[in-house]
Each structure stands twice: as structure tokens, then as C-alpha cells.
Homo-oligomer: A and B are copies of this chain.
Amino acid sequence: MTESPIGIFDSGFGGLTVAREVLDQLPHESVLYLGDTARAPYGPQPIAVVRANALQCLDRLVDHGVKALVIACNSASAAVLADARERYDVPVVEVIRPAVRRAVSVTHSGRVAVISTRATHQSRAYLDAFTAAPAHVRVLSQPCPRFVDFVEEGITSGPEVIETAREYLAPLQEADIDTVILGCTHYPLLTSVLTYVLGERVALVSSAAATAADLFRVLTDTGLLRPSGSEAPTHQFLTTGDPHGFTPLARRFLGPEVEHVARAYVGRPEERSA
């Protein structure tokens, strides 16, 4: 079982920043990534649809024999975590709670912000996860709708994205926020822009890094870690969309480790038996 890959699921590309952190923090582990790009983005869809689609994808990863599941999609994390824990025997890790736990321990003033897509903002998934936070913690949720486009177009520096970031982040600065959760898996690629605009005294909490650390803990505690000194791991990338379109963007998000991208047919019974 230790030899089995870690299954990482996202609606699209963003989860590749989580996969990048997993490769960095767990370099002996093999990864099987599935991006449901054909049905992305999940955010604007009804929660029942998100849940059904996500479970189909997770089923597919479990069919492949993964030893753990990472739900690397903010929209799916809140919608499907409880179902996934009930449905599968393997450990399930997601992206919202590790980031929230870390933000609570990082903040001094208790003034925390979550920046995200509009859909995640409207879902209130992060606000819900802060339910049990200490009384002094106040959370500001700030949608940053254009950030995903900037990242997907490769614009992660320069005046245009800096100016946009200044606009989005002005309410955070007015509120004297000291800790910001990157509530979208695309945003780690904007780390430098965010630090530049907010200053280095504002702590950035990356869901990707917090999730990879959480996965390390779970695998260590369950004895599922692949031993150091194993053969080099192998990584595989699946998309429900066009593999040729997927590859260049995936390389930008994760790096040249993205070699083999294959098409996955998920959720259509006539193709699932293929």
C-alpha cells in the first residue's frame, strides 16, 4: 500500500499548486492527478452537481488504487469532504481546514482575510470553517475575480497585476489585516505580487503548503509513507478535457514533472467501462 500513489483531485489546474507542494514536501511519493477540466469551473454550479462530479472523480482515483485522497479544489472541499470520508477507506485531506487552522495560529491581531474567487466567496466555506475560532478572530472575505485569469495567462508580475492587486487588497489594508489566506489554488503563483502589495509584515497562508503538511502528518501517522530510498516516484496526470490543452498550463503550474497527460472519462457510464 505504501507504494500506491497519492490521488489529487481538482476541478481544473489550480490543484497543481497543491501537487507541487506535495512533490516538494513528500519527494518520495508518486502522484496521480485528476483535473475535471471538462466540467470546470465548479464554483458557479449548484452544490449537488459539484458533489456528484467530485465523487465521480474521487471514485476514479480510488479505482486506480490510490492510498490517500487530496481534494485540492476549494469548491469541492466543503461540498464533498464528509461524503468522501464516509465513502472511502483511504484518508482524505482537503484544502480549507489546514489553511484555516494555520491562519488562526498565525494571526496576531485576529484580523484575518480570505481572498478567493467570487464563487468561493459566495459559498462562505471559509467563514464556516472559522466557526470555532477564538473570539478575537474576525474574518474578512474578499473576492478577487480577475486573479485566476491573470495566472492562467501567465501574468504574475508587472504593473497590470500589481495595480489590480492594489485595488482588491485596499479593503484588507484599511481593515489592518495581518494574515491572508490564499483561498484559491491559483493564488500561490501570485505570492510575490501579494507580498509586494501587502508588505512582508502581512502573513500569507497558502492552502497548498498547509495541505501538503497535513498530508505528510496523515501518511506518517497511518504508516502509509513511502520509504526514503525507494525507486524514483512516477507521476501521472489525468484530465477530463483535452490533454494537449492541459499540458502547457500544467507545466506552468507544477513544472516539467508534468510529462504524461492522459484523458480520463469520468461520469459517463458508456465510456467508464472502456
Question: Interface of A with B (CB < 8 Å)?
Answer: 20, 23-28, 98, 101-102, 105-106, 108, 153-158, 161-162, 188-189, 191-193, 195-196, 200-201, 203, 209-210, 212-214, 216-217, 220, 225, 227-229, 252, 255-257
Do B213 and A158 touch across chains, with their CB atoms under 8 A apart? no
Asked, given contacts A106-B106, A154-B27, whether A210 binds B216 with beta carbons under 8 Å apart, the answer is: no
Q: Cα distance A196–B192 when bound, in Å?
A: 26
In the assembled complex, which residues on chain B have CB atoms less than 8 Å from the CB atom of A161?
A: 228
Q: In the assembled complex, how far is the CB of residue A100 from the closest CB belonging to chain B, in whole angstroms? A: 11
Do A157 and B229 touch across chains, with their CB atoms under 8 A apart? no
In the assembled complex, which residues on chain B have CB atoms less than 8 Å from the CB atom of A23?
A: 255
Contacts A24-B191, A26-B192, A255-B257 aside, 5 further interface pairs with beta carbons under 8 A come to A102-B200, A158-B227, A192-B212, A195-B217, A255-B256
Do B200 and A157 touch across chains, with their CB atoms under 8 A apart? no
Among A189, A195, A252, the most chain B Cβ lie within 10 Å of the Cβ of: A195
Do B25 and A192 touch across chains, with their CB atoms under 8 A apart? yes
Q: Cα distance A220–B160 when bound, in Å?
A: 12
- A sample of 25 inter-chain contacts (CB < 8 A) reads A20-B24, A23-B255, A24-B188, A24-B191, A25-B192, A26-B192, A27-B189, A27-B252, A28-B154, A28-B156, A98-B200, A105-B201, A106-B106, A154-B228, A157-B220, A157-B228, A192-B213, A192-B217, A193-B216, A195-B217, A200-B210, A200-B214, A255-B255, A255-B256, A256-B257
In the assembled complex, which residues on chain B have CB atoms less than 8 Å from the CB atom of A203?
A: 105-106, 203
Partner of A157 from the list B98, B101, B188, B216 (CB cut-off 8 Å) is B216
Q: In the assembled complex, how far is the CB of residue A272 from the closest CB belonging to chain B, in whole angstroms? A: 33
